[in-house]
Amino acid sequence: MGLKMNRKVLSLFVLLAITATAQCGNVYDITKYGAKSNNDANQALGQAWKAACASKVPSKVVVPKGTFRLSRAAFFGPCKAPIEFMIVGTLQAPQNPGGFKDGDGWVTFQDIDRLTLDGGGTFDGNGQNVWGKHCTRLNYCSKLPINLRFNFIKNSVIKSVTSLNSKQFHIMVLGGVNLSFRNLKIIAPEDSYNTDGIHIGRSTNISITDSYIQTGDDCISVGDGTKNLTVKGVTCGPGHGISIGSLGKYRNEAPVQGITVRDCTFKNTQNGVRIKTWPNANEGSASDLRFENLYMQNVGSPVLIDQEYCPWNQCNTQNPSKVKLSKISFKNIWGTSSTPLAVNLICSRGYPCQNVEVGNIDLKYKGKDGPAHSVCKNVNVKVTGKMNPSPCKFKA
């Protein structure tokens, strides 16, 4: 009986060993391909990725400890098996932002199924010398590179990495399906213009959880065509908050549906949660938007719908927004506002917001301009539970 049991245990150990080996697969360390600290690792990364992507068993590309310079890199699929990109050290971009076109990524992952990006390392965009020069409040700086682009990635996990000092957006996701972003650190100073933390567009079933984001723009921004996005456990600040939009600027924008932001903290941000659409622009829609269990600490506009979004007066606000907003709820939001206007719901007079609910709001303002208050425009609001400041009524 003991011998049989030992054989069973031995067989189990063998099976586990085989399984572990299969999961580990082939490992491709970039230093084996000639990468050296403080030298450009572009060629070594490309060779390691090509070999790993061609592997018929799960594989791993490894950036070990150390700082490796990187002019730019693009990692394309499809790959023949699940693939992991483990960054333990730091990849550092050049200071010179030249050579990039509109929307380019400094590091791009594209057309990959079952990607894991992890390791605790850092993508250093080295953007300190371009903020306020190439990129200002009035200049979008579209030719500056995005730190990390994820184009048409499916069934993948991005976790436990840092995006530091990106020259433009930190992370952009386009055409993603079933993606999980978790335990990320996204860091840039408050005066780093247009350094959105994570921008999601035309993607489905995305989650962003347990992450720390401080930027010079939106911590998270949601573009058209985004469906079933969950944001949970994110600490945002400084920055412009978490925004849906702006919407309506371009023709043929796809609907935004099913966005949930909950259990998040906002510290010293320009806004808390915000929906923004352009006036005098194009048609669009956003629906099933839920914001709940949110703590605000010294936030400029904690709760905001802005369908007259027109930064620096660059558009005609006389014609109303054509973006239809519906099924929106703001619940269990508390803390402090840095301005007296704590709840500001400005909807389109052409397409008033539909089915808007607020409940259990407790936002305080301690400045010299009086207590916190609410403003509503072109919207009927359903109020449930406690409401501080007092709820506003429909105003055309």
The partner residues of 131 in beta bridges, in order of sequence, read 135
b/e code 65-99 from CB counts within 10 Å (16+ = b): eeebbbebbbbebebebbbbbbbebbbbbbeebee
Query: What SS3 state is found at 52?
Result: helix
pTM above 0.75, yes or no: yes
Those residues whose C-beta lies under 8 Å from the C-beta of residue 204, and which sit 6 or more positions away, are 176, 177, 178, 226, 227, 228
Alpha-carbon distance 364 to 371, whole Å?
7
| Active-site option among 134, 170, 199, 240 | 240
Mean pLDDT by groups of 10 residues along the chain of 396 residues: 42 37 72 95 98 98 97 97 98 91 95 98 95 63 90 98 97 98 98 94 98 97 98 98 96 97 98 96 97 98 96 81 98 97 96 96 91 94 92 60
Alpha-carbon distance 7 to 145, whole Å?
58
Q: Are 246 and 309 in contact (CB under 8 A)?
A: yes
Give the CA angle between residues 70, 55, 106 to the nearest 5°: 20
Structural tokens at position 129: 């010398």
pLDDT at 308: 94
CB atoms inside a 10 Å sphere around CB 267: 16
Alpha-carbon distance 192 to 94, whole Å?
17
User: Any catalytic annotation for residue 199?
Assistant: no
Beta strands in 144-283, from DSSP E residues, in sequence order: 146-151, 154-159, 162-164, 171-174, 177-182, 185-187, 198-201, 204-209, 212-214, 220-222, 227-232, 235-236, 242-247, 256-267, 271-277
What is the set of domains in the chain, with CATH numbers? 66-75+89-99+115-388 (2.160.20.10)
Report which of 346, 355, 373, 338 is spatially closest to residue 275, judged by C-alpha positions: 346
